[in-house]
Amino acid sequence: MKSPIQNKVNTIFIHVSDLKRSVKWYSVLLGQNYDLDTVARPVYNLQVNQTLGITLDAGPEGGKKNLGGLDYPLFNFHTDDIDQSYEYVKQLDYEIASEIVRFDDFAFFTVRDPDGNVIMICTG
């Protein structure tokens, strides 16, 4: 039987404890405009490209999520310049979880978002 499931990712869900704080953190990281006055639970959608989005999910009012950031990234953001990206994240005073790791054709570093989720920034 041919699978009816497409080989495509539409949305990455990131579970967060404070929606406005996370909207600001991710928007600044990605250089996107945001208006905190328009942010309301349970979710906020960031457009990443024409086919992929990120949904920051704080859940409904009064609900509590058990968050405990993983020690490894579930996805990455791409960069063409790893050194410039690293310096940008340092200037933002974001928590850098790992320094730049370099291979012949690939380099990456990781940061932690406000809930401790590890996000990879990488080339290649």
* 88-113 pLDDT per residue, tens: 999 999 999 999 999 999 999 999 99
Nearest residue to 87 (alpha-carbon basis) of 114, 109, 107, 112: 109
Q: Which pTM was predicted?
A: 0.88
Residue 64 pLDDT > 90, yes or no? no
Give 81 or 48, the one with higher predicted confidence: 81
The domains of the chain, with CATH numbers, are 9-60 (3.30.720), 71-124 (3.10.180.10)
Residue 55 pLDDT > 80, yes or no? yes
Residue 66 pLDDT > 70, yes or no? no
pLDDT grade, residue 68 (50/70/90)? low
What's the rounded Cα separation, in Å, for the pair 50 and 68?
Answer: 30
